[in-house]
Amino acid sequence: MPKDYITLLEAVPCFLTRPHKNTIVRWATKGVYGVKLKTVRFGGKRLTRRAWVDQFSESVMRASPDSYADVEPSAAAKKAAKKLDKLGIK
């Protein structure tokens, strides 16, 4: 195995949430929030680097919605809020 490369199973502890190996494979093949984990194929194995894991994690955090505070409430939510206001419930 080339230097500095780790298998996807070895990459599991590099993540805060300790994802399943299959989750890491999915992140490498399909991505999340439009971001894919960079990997290479070597001898039939998919390998990554700790630096690539860090880059992936940072990119996902930047790409993911920080909060839902700026999301416009749905029509049903607005209607429910009006009803609650009429009932004096905040």
Query: What is the average pLDDT score of the chain?
Result: 87
User: Quick check: 53 and 15 in contact, CB under 8 A?
Assistant: yes
pLDDT at 69 over 80: no
How many of the other CB atoms lie within 10 Å of CB of 44? 5
Domain ranges, residue 32: 5-86
Q: pLDDT tens across 3-15, in order?
A: 899 999 999 999 9
Domain count, the chain: 1
pTM, full prediction: 0.68
CA distance readout (Å), 72 to 12, 76, 79: 36, 11, 13
Residue 67 scores a pLDDT above 50: no
Task: Look at residue 70 and tell me whether its pLDDT is greater than 80.
Answer: no
80: its two tokens:
């429910």
